[in-house]
Structure 1
């Protein structure tokens, strides 16, 4: 293989790899945001559940 052809093929492959890496990074940014929202929703539901469990009784218990 001629040296110039080898250099051109290397440059093309490097550009393809950079494009693929950028696309992967952009997809991970969206996934990270989605995971963050999921985590916030999860903790909100845990907090809500704990509030419902520890809610004081409406009527005090009576001894007959």
Structure 2
């Protein structure tokens, strides 16, 4: 692929991404803050998962006879 074609495609994609970001910012301003029950429950589950992962594992004792 020629460099000028690559540069043109990159510029077109960058323009599309900038437009999508602007649209997202416009709609994000109208959203309510994420303090609803679903969000609090989700973060509680994340905290619980992190506690379970960091908990030391009890290893059974092996008797050598």
TM-score, reference length from structure 2: 0.48
Bigger Rg, which one: 1
